[in-house]
């Protein structure tokens, strides 16, 4: 498995973070973050809570602002420029810990909302695309239900389908399985692995180390707002270099 992922051909750098610094008031959340992700690469970000993992990926689609450094997505600077923001958000999709589906819309309407209103896709075409992705996450039969009628795992799969609808190059996953019942984690991870196989660029913040081992090209360990260590999964899990990561792995894996 490890050789297979290592032999995968990666494209050009598609996300570039250079010396990114961010503060919440006086609190320094991100410290000199440097990260380059290539087209088709699967990056898993791990680390204790409060280490800045989510904040970092939320800076990439500007749900959070940063104060210093630069972030570029496909060469476009992530800043307040409305045009840039639009280009970036059409290319970067996000899946949230709490799904954040729109409860007043049906599953299908959740999926077609952005294509129809933001990207002006004809409604019929938007519905076809939506159904295609719903089938992909095995949930097409629920298209006319409302989010609260579905289980957590189903909702998260819908959220993934919604994120896919504008066919983004990059998918950001922000702890996609942390709010799920143990029995439902598997079905969501299955869908994510399917995407990984198809060559989407993915950055995933997760505590699912099994997922990281199986599909990641690179695993990043963050603590206290810094990237402490990054390595291929094999080295990351079996020969961690930093003491902090050794301690972390000992605590999460030895049970």
Partner 1 sequence: MAVYPPKPAKEPPLTERGPIAWVRHNLLSSPYNITFTILGLAILYWTIPPFVKWAFLDANFAGHTKADCTGNGACWVFVKEKLNMFLFGFYPQDQLWRPKTVIATVLALGAFAKFVPGLHRFKLLLIAIFPIFAFMMLHGGSFGLSLVETSKWGGLLLTLVIASVGIVLSFPLGILLALGRQSKLPIIKSLSVFYIEFVRGVPLITVLFMASVVLPLFFPEGVNFNKLARALIGITLFEAAYVAENIRSGFQAIPKGQYEAADALGLGYWQKMALVILPQAIKVTIPNLVGTFISLFKDTSLVMIIGLFDLLAMVNVTSNDRDWLGMDTEGYVFVAFIFWIFTFSMSMYSKRLEKKLNTDKGK
How would you write 166-185 as a 3-class SS string? CCCCEEEEECCCCCCCHHHH
Q: Considering the complex, what minimum distance in angstroms separates the CB of residue 177 from partner 1?
A: 16
The answer to the question of residue 166 lying near partner 1 (CB under 8 A) is yes
User: Coil, helix or strand for 95?
Assistant: strand
The answer to the question of residue 98 lying near partner 1 (CB under 8 A) is yes
The answer to the question of residue 104 lying near partner 1 (CB under 8 A) is yes
Stretch that binds partner 1, among 109-117, 183-191, 198-206, 223-231 (CB under 8 A): 109-117
- How does DSSP classify residue 149? G
The structure tokens listed for 47 are 């680390």
The answer to the question of residue 247 lying near partner 1 (CB under 8 A) is no
- How does DSSP classify residue 9? P
User: Judged by CB, which is closer to partner 1: 93, or 222?
Assistant: 93
The answer to the question of residue 133 lying near partner 1 (CB under 8 A) is no
Taking CB under 8 A as the rule, which mask of x and - marks residues 39-78 in contact with partner 1?
----------------------xxx---------------
User: Coil, helix or strand for 126?
Assistant: helix
> How does 229-246 read in b/e, with b if 16+ C-beta sit within 10 Å?
bebebeebbeebeeebbe
Q: Considering the complex, what minimum distance in angstroms separates the CB of residue 58 from partner 1?
A: 8
**54 conformational bin, left if phi > 0, alpha if psi -120 to 50, beta if neither:** alpha
H/E stretch holding 211: helix 209-215
The answer to the question of residue 123 lying near partner 1 (CB under 8 A) is no
Chain positions contacting partner 1, by CB under 8 A: 61-63, 86, 89-90, 92-94, 96, 98, 100-104, 113-114, 117-119, 146-151, 162-163, 166
């Amino acid at each position: 498995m490890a050789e297979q992922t290592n032999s995968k051909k990666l494209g050009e750098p598609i996300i570039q973070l250079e010396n990114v610094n961010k503060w919440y008031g006086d609190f320094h959340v991100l410290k000199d973050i440097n990260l380059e992700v290539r087209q088709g690469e699967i990056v898993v970000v791990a680390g204790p809570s409060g280490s800045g993992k989510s904040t970092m990926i939320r800076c990439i689609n500007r749900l959070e602002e940063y104060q210093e450094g630069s972030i570029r997505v496909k060469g476009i600077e992530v800043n307040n420029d409305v045009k840039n923001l639009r280009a970036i958000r059409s290319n970067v999709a996000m899946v949230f810990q709490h799904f954040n589906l729109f409860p007043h819309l049906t599953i299908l309407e959740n999926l077609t909302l952005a294509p129809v209103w933001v990207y002006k896709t004809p409604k019929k075409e938007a519905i076809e695309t939506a159904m295609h992705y719903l089938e992909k996450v095995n949930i097409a039969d629920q298209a006319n239900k409302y989010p609260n009628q579905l289980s957590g795992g189903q909702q998260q799969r819908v959220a993934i389908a919604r994120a896919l609808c504008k066919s983004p190059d990059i998918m950001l996953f922000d702890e996609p399985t942390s709010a799920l019942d143990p029995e439902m984690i598997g079905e969501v991870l299955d869908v994510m692995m399917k995407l990984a196989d198809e060559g989407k660029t993915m950055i995933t913040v997760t505590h699912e180390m099994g997922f990281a081992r199986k599909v990641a090209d690179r695993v990043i360990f963050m603590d206290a707002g810094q990237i402490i260590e990054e390595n291929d999964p094999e080295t990351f899990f079996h020969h961690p270099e930093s003491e902090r990561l050794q301690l972390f792995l000992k605590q999460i894996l030895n049970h």
